[in-house]
Amino acid sequence: MNKKYVLLALALYGLFVFLVINFYEDSPSSMTWEDREEFNRHYIAKLVPGQFTLEQILTDLGSPDSTEAIRKNNNYYQVTFYRTQHVKSDGMTTQEECTYLLFINDILTGSGLGGEYPDNWQVIDKFTKK
């Protein structure tokens, strides 16, 4: 009789593990800040400019920690900042703790460390003069 319960428990556990692995979708919004940083870092490292849209990245990474947008010369530029490295425990996310992603007309064009993000939209010139 005890063997039946053990086998039943193992079967239920196996079913539970199978369901979690195959159907549970991990969302950045439900992660701890440490896990989200790691997830963002790995995801952003795999991005290839020109092959991703803003919508795809928002779907996969969730809302950015910060964002800026401007229209210039009939183009729409948007820069999103995602936290990728912890600097200081002060309850605030700064640009130095982020990686920025530049989108021109909703297509990923470039990225860089938030601490190196230039002022006054010079990033636009950096990526459009190539």
**pLDDT digits 0-9 by tens, 55-98:** 999 998 888 988 888 888 888 999 999 988 877 776 667 777 88
Tell me the per-residue pLDDT of 87-99, one tens digit each, with 9 for 90 and over.
777 666 777 788 8
Q: Strand pairing of 75-83 and 107-113? A: unpaired
pLDDT of res. 28:
64
Whole-prediction pTM: 0.69
Nearest to 113 by CA among 36, 63, 40, 29: 40
- Walk me through the domains of the chain, giving residue ranges and CATH numbers: 26-128 (3.30.1450.10)
pLDDT band at 127 (very low <50, low <70, confident <90, very high): low
Mean pLDDT confidence for 7-31: 74
